[in-house]
Amino acid sequence: FNTVLYTGDGASSNAITGVGFQPDWLWIKNRVRSGVSHVLVDSVRGLGDNGVNLNTLSSDNTNAEFNQSDADGVSSLNSDGFTVGYNNSNAFNLSADSYVAWNWKAGGTTPTKTYKVVVVSDSGNKYRFRNSADSATFAQSAVTLNLQEGGTYVFDWSDSSAQGHPIRFSTTSDGTHGGGTEYTTGVVKDNSAYTTTITVAAGAPTLYYYCQIHSGMGGQVNTNSTHGQSNFDGTSQSVVSANTSAGFSIVQYEGLASGTQTVGHGLNSAPELIIFKNRDDTSSWVVYTEPVGTSGFLLLNSSGGKNTSDVSNTFNSTAPTNSVFTVGTNNAVGGNGETIISYCFHSVEGYSKVGRYLSNNSTDGTFVYLGFRPSWVMIKRLATTDWEILDTARDVDFNPNEKRLEANTTQTEATTTSSSGFFADFLSNGFKLRGNGSHANGGTAATYIFLAFAEAPQKFANAR
């Protein structure tokens, strides 16, 4: 994670650097102009076709994903930042306006993953894929895979059912066996180890995986310039870009018409906070957080408190596990045939913390232990308050940290040090609230949830 500040120049291409990595999730807010929405883009949804259309979401409203020309938004995610343009929007690059950009790294540009393959009898022999723990087989045969350009993928067919069915790749649906041409770019075949490895080249065509000996066993491989790859840990296939050392993943999946589904999230521990958004529908941003559990949820686009509307069809009373989360048919998390994006977080010692605290309604406010000095904190009361964000990039004075933005509103950056306001001291091992305003420390023993990231994590170079 890293925060950068920049000033708009009104040009068609303004390259922002200093992030230190290529962001997978980018969140931008105009600091000085009221009525301007937040802008959220990510590498799993992508920036559209060749940067011409931008897949943009805003945390302050329920709008479906909308597209903008590349002259009016984020046109690229780069190795040290991103590029924004300007046409007629104030959200990205208005001349002389001040902006903040929060950046997270998920799986990055060169992920690696191993797929364990078995063969089952399903109207003839078919390939199926095992889950990450190699403890269960995905229920569908010859599925379409999603692989990322730049990623390296090992197909392990060492299971006794698969050893007689060497996996190969082709640009035709049945490969060499059906008269096509075997695809070998970036492919390493090791029959003695029963593995076939492919590093997907930039611009690779749509491929097909097939058995070198027998026809009709495989399926299609989408080779995507967007990030993420197929995950088979749940009952539904998901596309996941995960930074396991940082406890962060971006997950995309499709909703079902009925029933529940489990969705693989790609992390090694259960997510403690998940933000969901339906890309195709005007649904709210649903937030699962461990302190609320599955009895309700919060809405990122709203100041409202715990919401229990249609809760039985949201998480189906099932908490996330180390491999999957569970969703129902609530349109915000599982609309029939609609595409859902989710951002998953769990705490990592010395780097990030998801948690809760109780207010004391005092100007000598609650101290919240993190185990690190924070660089970014987002706070929300379980009752009615806004989602408040503080960071050390916008507030360079040592303490107090007082420049806040609200994830659910289009307001400008606010500053307050009044006793009833919201501000905090960022300390070496956590943060201490100053003021007794309802946004962060109001009421006696009121519950607040938070998400925090470290200023200088020593342990996780992949996550900054």
* pLDDT tens readout for residues 97-118: 999 999 999 999 999 999 999 9
SS3 433: strand
If asked whether residues 256 and 203 sit together in one domain, one would say: no
Is the pLDDT at 91 greater than 50? The verdict is yes
Query: Exposure of 265 by Cβ count < 10 A (0-12 exposed, 13-18 middle, 19+ buried)?
Result: buried
If asked whether residues 452 and 358 sit together in one domain, one would say: yes
Q: What confidence category does residue 285 fall into, taking pLDDT thresholds of 50, 70 and 90?
A: very high
Distance of alpha carbon 213 from alpha carbon 231, whole angstroms: 27
Q: What is the model's pTM?
A: 0.96
Is the pLDDT at 260 greater than 60? The verdict is yes
pLDDT digits (tens, 9 = 90+) for 10-63: 888 899 999 999 999 999 999 999 999 999 999 999 987 655 556 899 999 999
If asked whether residues 97 and 175 sit together in one domain, one would say: no
If asked whether residues 100 and 116 sit together in one domain, one would say: no
Is the pLDDT at 328 greater than 70? The verdict is yes
Query: Exposure of 462 by Cβ count < 10 A (0-12 exposed, 13-18 middle, 19+ buried)?
Result: middle
Which range has the worst mean pLDDT, 137-146, 173-182, 366-375? 173-182
If asked whether residues 254 and 279 sit together in one domain, one would say: yes
Is the pLDDT at 89 greater than 80? The verdict is no
Query: Exposure of 258 by Cβ count < 10 A (0-12 exposed, 13-18 middle, 19+ buried)?
Result: exposed
Strand order in the sheet with 352-358: 352-358, 447-454, 374-381, 388-391, 403-406, 414-415
Segment holding 241, helix H or strand E? strand 238-243
If asked whether residues 170 and 276 sit together in one domain, one would say: no
Q: What is the pLDDT of residue 461?
A: 39
Q: Rounded to a whole number, what is the distance in angstroms from the first to the last CA of the chain?
A: 5
Q: What is the pLDDT of residue 67?
A: 67
The 3-state secondary structure of 172-224, one letter per residue = CCCCHHHCCCECCCCEEEECCCCEEEEECCCCCCCEEEEECCCCCCCEEEEEE
Domains contained in the chain, number:
4
Distance of alpha carbon 411 from alpha carbon 405, whole angstroms: 7
* Residues near 17 by beta carbon (within 8 Å), at least 6 away in sequence: 4, 78, 80, 81
Q: Among the three residues 167, 199, 226, which one is the final residue of a domain in this structure? A: 226
Distance of alpha carbon 302 from alpha carbon 237, whole angstroms: 30
The number of C-alpha atoms within 13 Å of 173 and in the hemisphere containing its C-beta is: 5
DSSP state of 331: H
If asked whether residues 335 and 360 sit together in one domain, one would say: no
Look-up of token digits 């929405």:
37
Q: What confidence category does residue 242 fall into, taking pLDDT thresholds of 50, 70 and 90?
A: very high
If asked whether residues 92 and 57 sit together in one domain, one would say: yes
Residue 178 in tokens: 């059906």
Q: Among the three residues 315, 345, 375, which one is the final residue of a domain in this structure? A: 345
Is the pLDDT at 436 greater than 90? The verdict is no
* Residues near 166 by beta carbon (within 8 Å), at least 6 away in sequence: 157, 189, 191, 194, 196, 211, 212, 213
If asked whether residues 283 and 185 sit together in one domain, one would say: no
If asked whether residues 42 and 127 sit together in one domain, one would say: no
If asked whether residues 341 and 306 sit together in one domain, one would say: yes
If asked whether residues 273 and 330 sit together in one domain, one would say: yes
Side chain identity, residue 35: G
Q: Which residue segment(s) compose the domain that 412 sits in?
A: 352-463
Q: What is the pLDDT of residue 399?
A: 87
Look over the chain and give the mean of its residue pLDDT values, rounded to a whole number: 93
Q: What is the mean pLDDT of residues 435-450?
A: 90
Task: Check which CATH number belongs to the domain holding 152 and give it.
Answer: 2.60.40
Q: Among the three residues 208, 226, 244, which one is the final residue of a domain in this structure? A: 226
Q: Which residue has the higher pLDDT, 11 or 313?
A: 313
